[in-house]
Chain A
Amino acid sequence: MKSKLLSLPYIVWMLVFTMIPLVMIGVTAFTDNSGCFSVDAFVSAFQYTNIFLKSLWIALLSTVICLLLAYPLAYIICQMRPSTQKTVIMLMMIPMWMNFLLRIYAWVLLLQNGGPLDTLLSAIGIHGDYSNNTAAVVVGMVYEYLPFMLLPIYTVMGKIDKSLIEAAQDLGSNKASVFRRVILPLSIPGVISGITMVFVPSASTFVVAQYLGGTDDIMIGDVIDKIFFTNNHIGAALSLVLMVFILLFLVLMNKFGDEEAIA
């Protein structure tokens, strides 16, 4: 029970299978085929700037939409009876247990030309293409990650001390100002972890855009996936840049969260 040695296998494991591989990305990114130091990979990686920005844009859109959908939902769920709360949360979680690729494929089926949505809308006279565009990619992302936004907000909101709300009401606050002055500020930590949990995976995802996007909807994850089979160095450079971006984002979010906690 007192032994520190028990942590040794884990430390060795993490060194071999996490730290060394990450260092290898760094080394691969900063070398060329002959193994010499070189920044060529980063120079070549520059041609993907637009794809990089587009990925961040898609991730940002998805995160914002998730937040706009999940926040009111969490608020509504918190006001239900505890047993109903449990059921609704479970209903939101069940689709998450389906395989990631099947969930995306389901949207391909739903949005395809002559598919259910097309048939339904054609019947009332609306015609259009719903698949193979940026909007479809964002819809797919929102579907993938909505529960990741809902759960942290719901957990934090559910833990708000009821007596704080009653106190605000006793002191003359109406519903709107109870929400604005009590519930909203106290739920910010949940919102921040929700944003992190949606933004990080959606910025780095691949496959979603391949299935739901048009020809110009390529995300950085897809590029990294493809390029690793032709040029390791550019792939590693892109992975490194992505990792740095995400770390910066996490630091920013953390800082924002801390400031909120103090305020």
Chain B
Amino acid sequence: MKQKSGVLTKIYIGIIMVFMYAPIAVLIFYSFNKSRSAAWGGFTFEWYFELFKSRSIMNALTNTLLIAVLAAVLATVLGTAAAIGIHNLRGKTRAVVQNFSNIPIISPDIVMGVSLMLLFTFLGVLFHFEMGFVTVLLSHISFCVPFVVLNVMPRIRRMDTSIYDAALDLGCTPVQAFFKVVIHELMPGIVSGALISFTYSIDDFVITHFTQGARFQNLSTEIYSMLRRKIPPTINALSTLLFLVIIVVMVLINIRDRREEKRKTMN
């Protein structure tokens, strides 16, 4: 299939890249625009200063990170345990549980969000609580766990169970054997499950929107309400900084991958 790529294919890739990056370039461009309108009004760092002074944005940022870390950790623990448990289930029960696992993955976000809102409003009336941090966290765990199960399951299936028996023979208690041997074997699946959970949680808007209650805001819902009021240029500054963070993370991941590849080829 290999061949010299022609001019046409290069142009095509170029057009797609312009399509993908033009909007981001526009955000960055406007983040330095002194004027609030569409026209260029001179260069400024003003919006960046205002961004760091904005207590609501900083608060939303903390909430987003806190929820993402907690949801990822809790979903990973719950999901890893579940994957092992499901693996030991037999026949029909196992098929039923696995199919139910897929429901949050295939159902549209808005339906998940609305259904959780109904649940929390109902429970809230019953037990006198309001939606907020806790309900958002519970919801995020709920949509993350299936992804952890999905990532850990294949590792368990491929795992050689005799190493667990070997650990027991060598004097480990079942708990020790689990933490020293099994977890180690499942690690790649656990890590990717946790990373997927973290990214989904950080990026989530729809489910947070329905379960946040009156006072809680994460970054997405904060941006949503900012955009509804007026269009403040601080949003452009925020986008630019987020984009920078993403680029740095991507470059770091790439460097790590290259190093690992080198190490593998050297061995």
Q: Of the 9-residue stretches A34-42, A45-53, A204-212, which lies at the interface with chain B?
A: A204-212
CB-CB nearest in chain A for B82? A10
Which residues 85-100 in A have Cβ within 8 Å of B in the complex? 88, 90-92, 94-95, 97-100
Query: Are B85 and A7 in contact (CB-based, < 8 A)?
Result: yes
Of A9, A25, A95, the contact of B21 (CB 8 Å cutoff): A95
Residues of A within 8 A of B108 (CB): 200-201, 203-204, 242-243, 246
| A33 at the binding interface (Cβ < 8 Å) | no
A1-B84 contact given A14-B100, A101-B224, CB 8 Å threshold: yes
B227 touches A228 (CB 8 A): no
Chain A 218-232 interface mask (CB, 8 Å, partner B; 1/0)? 000100110010001
Q: Could you tell me the distance in whole angstroms from the C-beta of A8 to the nearest C-beta in chain B?
A: 7
Does B12 belong to the interface (CB within 8 Å)? yes
A61 at the interface (CB under 8 A from B): no
Q: How far is the CA of A3 from the CA of B220 in the complex (A)?
A: 40
Q: How many of chain B's residues have a CB under 8 angstroms from any CB in A?
A: 84
A:41-90 near B, CB below 8 Å: 69, 72-73, 76, 78-81, 88, 90
Question: B86 and A7: CB pair below 8 A?
Answer: yes
Q: Which residue from B115, B220, B236, B238 sits with its C-beta under 8 Å from A21?
A: B115
- B217-267 contacts to A (CB < 8 Å): 219-220, 223-224, 227, 231, 235-236, 238-239, 242-243, 246-247, 250, 254
Query: Is the beta-carbon distance between B203 and A100 smaller than 8 angstroms?
Result: yes
Report the bound CA distance from A17 to B145 in whole Å: 11
Expressed in whole angstroms, the minimum distance between the Cβ of B217 and any Cβ of chain A is: 13
Contact call A143/B205, Cβ cutoff below 8 A:
no
Q: Which residue on chain A has the smallest CB distance to residue B10?
A: A76
> With A1-B178, A162-B1, A206-B110 known to touch, is A76 a contact of B13 (CB < 8 Å)?
yes
Is A78's CB under 8 angstroms from B1's CB?
yes
Asked, given contacts A79-B2, A109-B27, A204-B111, whether A10 binds B145 with beta carbons under 8 Å apart, the answer is yes
A130 at interface, CB cutoff 8 A: no
| Inter-chain contacts of A81 with B (CB < 8 A) | 2
A6 to B145, CA, bound (A): 14
A110 within 8 A of B: yes
- Secondary structure dominating the interface of B: helix
- Contact partners of B81 in chain A: CB under 8 A: 6-7, 9-10
Q: Once the chains are docked, how many angstroms separate the CA of A97 from the CA of B27?
A: 15
Does B101 have its Cβ within 8 Å of any Cβ on chain A? yes
- Shortest beta-carbon distance, A19 to chain B, in Å? 7
Partner of A102, one of B85, B199, B223: B223
Taking a contact as CB atoms under 8 Å apart, the answer to whether B118 and A28 are in contact is: yes
Residues of B within 8 A of A243 (CB): 107-108, 111
CB contacts (< 8 Å) of A186 on chain B: these are: none
Residue B206 CB within 8 A of the other chain: yes
For B38, the closest partner residue in chain A by CB is A114
Instruction: List 16 extra interface pairs beyond A14-B142, A235-B114, CB under 8 A.
Output: A1-B164, A6-B81, A13-B142, A21-B115, A79-B2, A81-B2, A91-B20, A95-B21, A100-B203, A100-B205, A102-B27, A102-B242, A110-B23, A114-B38, A115-B26, A232-B118
Q: Which of B's residues lie within 8 Å of A, judged by CB?
A: 1-3, 5, 9, 12-13, 16-17, 19-24, 26-27, 29-30, 37-39, 78-79, 81-82, 84-86, 88-89, 97, 100-101, 103-104, 106-112, 114-119, 122, 138-139, 141-142, 145, 149, 161, 164, 174, 177-178, 182, 199, 203, 205-206, 209-210, 219-220, 223-224, 227, 231, 235-236, 238-239, 242-243, 246-247, 250, 254
Q: Which 9 A-B pairs have the closest CB atoms?
A: A7-B85, A10-B82, A21-B115, A106-B23, A204-B108, A6-B85, A114-B38, A17-B142, A21-B119
> Can you name 16 A-B residue pairings with CB atoms under 8 Å?
A1-B164, A1-B177, A3-B85, A7-B89, A69-B16, A98-B24, A98-B242, A99-B203, A99-B220, A109-B26, A203-B108, A221-B110, A224-B110, A225-B110, A232-B118, A239-B114
